[in-house]
Amino acid sequence: MKIYNKKRVCIVNTLFLIYLFQHFSSKIGTLVANTFDYEIIDKYNVFAWLSIHHIVQTLLALVPIYILSKTLNIDFGFKLGDKKIGIKYVKIFTMAMLAYITITAFISYLSNQIVQYDYPLTYTNILGSLSFQLFFSGPSEEILFRALPISIITYLIPSEKGVKMRKLHISWAIIISAVFFALAHIKWTVNPFSVSIDCMQLLFSLVLGIMYGIVYQKSKSVIYPMIMHSFTNVAVVGAGYILSIVK
């Protein structure tokens, strides 16, 4: 009983540390990104600040990943893994996401609910923004919010434990990492204190987090969730640009 309680305390403490580290990495990324002036290359602060922010949080995430891979021999999935399964899920996800984005874009167009951007849709802003979504958003966030937490949690909690939904099994590691990923989309400040919550964005992030996590565990590679994540962001942002230009 005492051993069980100690293990449970260890798991809770580890989850808390992971959550703190994710926010710490994001905040440090913000501090570093704020030290640069982007006036020349990115006058409207569309992509340069975000790129630096994500590069910094990625580098920070790689530190514990490197240490734990050497000391505890934890595999964080930086290899191709099961290519057959990974490519299969990427194809299915891509077709499903394209269908979803097409339908929602069509509804937005008909209902005149077009995104209003606070910057001009110039070639620089559009290409810069899409390049960030393609090369930085997916890799950075999948390393910090998928590879890092899922691998550590799986080390403490066997992957076979979790929630079963008919033939689909979702481990606790996937669920917890998806919750952390969704919580990261809550915008808040300390001074002055303010909290901004978009419930639909939280739900969307939670669902995507679970999907990315399933692919990560089944393929044993973070590469495929990276591709899926980047594709989703590029498709969503790109669709918004197209609607704004057409409308």
pLDDT of residue 190: 57
pLDDT digits (tens, 9 = 90+) for 45-83: 999 999 999 999 999 999 999 999 999 999 999 999 999
Q: Where are the alpha helices (DSSP H) in the chain?
A: 2-33, 48-71, 83-110, 123-132, 138-142, 148-156, 172-183, 199-219, 223-246
Question: Which has more confidence, 247 or 36?
Answer: 36
pLDDT of residue 193: 61
Percentage of the chain modeled with pLDDT above 90: 71
pLDDT of residue 109: 85
In angstroms and rounded to an integer, the radius of gyration of the C-alpha atoms of the chain is 19
Q: pTM of the predicted model, to two decimals?
A: 0.90
Question: Which has more confidence, 162 or 213?
Answer: 213
Q: Rounded to whole angstroms, how far apart are CA atoms 63 and 68?
A: 9
Residue that has been written with the tokens 């400040």 in this structure? 189
Could you count the other beta carbons within 10 Å of the beta carbon of residue 239? 19
Contact present, 169 and 200 (Cβ < 8 Å): no
188 DSSP β-pair partners:
195
Packed helices 223-246 and 199-219: angle between N→C axes, nearest 10 degrees: 140
Nearest to 143 by CA among 86, 52, 226: 226
Q: Render 37-92 in DSSP notation, one character per residue.
A: --TTT-TT-SSHHHHHHHHHHHHHHHHHHHHHHHHS------S---HHHHHHHHHH
**Per-residue pLDDT for 155 more than 60?**
yes
